[in-house]
Structure 1
Amino acid sequence: MLLLILPIVAIVSWLGTAALRRYALSNRIIDTPNARSSHAVPTPRGGGMAIVAVFLLAIAGLYQEGMISLSFMLALMGGGGLVAVIGFLDDHQHIAARWRLLGHFAAAGWGLYWLGGLAPLELGSFYLGTGIVMQVLAVFYLVWLLNLYNFMDGIDGIAGLEAISVALGGAFLYVLTGAPIAAWVPVLLSSTVLGFLLWNMPPARIFMGDAGSGFLGIVFGLLSLQAAWVNPKLFWSWLILLGVFVVDATWTLIRRLLNGEKLYEAHRSHAYQWASRRFSSHKVVTLGVAALNLFWLLPCALLVACGYLPGFLGLFLAYVPLCVLAVIFKAGVREL
Structure 2
Amino acid sequence: MIILFLLVLAFFAAVGLTGWLRRYALASHLIDIPNARSSHTLPTPRGGGLAIVAVFLASLPIFYAVGDLPWVDVAAFVGAGGLVASVGFLDDRGHVSVRWRLLAHFLAAAWVLWCLGGMPALIVTDSIWVRGLLTGAGLFYLVWLLNLYNFMDGIDGLAGLEAFSVCLGGALLYGTGGHSGLLLVLAAAVAGFLYWNLPPAKIFMGDGGSGFLGIVLGIFSLQAAWVSPQFFWSWLILLGVFIVDATWTLLRRWCQGDKVYQAHRSHAYQYAARAYGHRLVSLVVMAINVLWLLPIALWVSSGLSAGFGLALAYIPLLGLAVVFKAGAKEGGG
Instruction: Name the residue aligned to 1:318.
Output: 313
Structure 1 residues 207-249: Cα deviation after superposition (integer angstroms, max 9, x where no partner): 0000000000000111101101111110000010000000000
| TM superposition shift of 1:82 | 0.4
Pair 1:48-2:43 in alignment: no
Distance 2:126 2:208 in 1: 33
TM-score (norm 2): 0.96
Return the letter of the residue paired with 1:91: D
User: How many residue pairs get matched?
Assistant: 328
The 5-angstrom pairing of residues 238-257 of structure 1 reads 238-257=235-254
- Give 1:26 shift: 0.3
Q: Is the 8 A contact 1:121 1:128 kept in 2?
A: no
- Show the counterpart of 1:134: 134
Equivalent residues of 1:79, 1:111 under 8 A apart: yes
State how far apart, in whole Å, the 2-side matches of 1:9 and 1:226 are: 22
1:203 aligns with: 200
Counterpart position of 2:284? 288
Q: Which amino acid aligns with 2:294?
A: L
Secondary structure of 1:180's aligned partner = coil
- Residue 298 of structure 1 is matched in structure 2 by 294
Conservation of the 8 A alpha-carbon contact between 2:268 and 2:321: yes
Do residues 331 (structure 1) and 326 (structure 2) align? yes
The corresponding residue for 2:156 is 156
The offset of 1:128, in angstroms, is 9.5
Q: Which amino acid aligns with 2:251?
A: I
Cα separation, 2, equivalents of 1:254 and 1:119: 27
Paired with 1:265 and 1:169, the residues of 2 have a C-alpha distance of 32
Aligned to 2:94: 93
| Contact 1:237–1:305 (CA under 8 A) maintained in structure 2 | yes
Q: How far did 1:181 drift? A: 3.8
What residue in structure 2 maps to residue 22 of structure 1?
23
**Is contact 2:3-2:181 (8 Å) kept?**
no
Tell me which residue corresponds to 1:236: 233
Return 5+ residue gaps in structure 1 as ranges: none
What SS class does the counterpart of residue 179 from structure 2 fall into?
A: helix
Distance (whole Å) between structure 2 residues aligned to residue 293 and residue 54 of structure 1: 24
Contact 2:253/2:327 (<8 A) preserved: yes
> Residue 121 of structure 1 contacts residue 127 of structure 1 at CA under 8 Å; is this kept in 2?
no
The Cα shift of 1:63 comes to: 0.7
Q: Structure 1 CA distance, aligned partners of 2:178 and 2:243?
A: 27
CA distance in 2, matches of 1:22, 1:180: 39
Return 179-188 or 321-330, whichever deviates more.
Answer: 179-188
Superposed, which structure 2 residues align to 1:207-226 within 5 Å?
A: 207-226=204-223
Label 1:55 to 1:101 Cα distance change in 2 as closer, same or farther (>3 A): same
TM-score by length of 1: 0.95
Distance 1:116 1:239 in 2: 21
Q: In 2, distance between residues paired with 1:34 and 1:127? A: 51
Counterpart amino acid of 1:144? W
Q: CA deviation at 1:312?
A: 2.5
- Does the CA contact (< 8 Å) of 1:253 and 1:263 recur in 2? yes
Aligned pairs (5 A) from 1:69-218: 69-121=70-122, 131-175=131-175, 180-218=177-215
Runs of 4+ in 1 over 2 A off after TM superposition: 126-130
Deviation at 1:2, TM superposition (A): 2.3
- Hey, what's the Cα distance between the residues in 1 that align with 2:191 and 2:135? 33
State the Cα RMSD in Å: 1.2
Q: 1:296 to 1:128 in 2, by over 3 A?
A: farther
Please tell me whether the aligned partners of residues 50 and 209 of structure 2 are also in contact (alpha carbons under 8 angstroms).
yes
1: distance between equivalents of 2:249 and 2:133? 26
Partner Cα separation in structure 2 for residue 20 and residue 70 of structure 1: 30
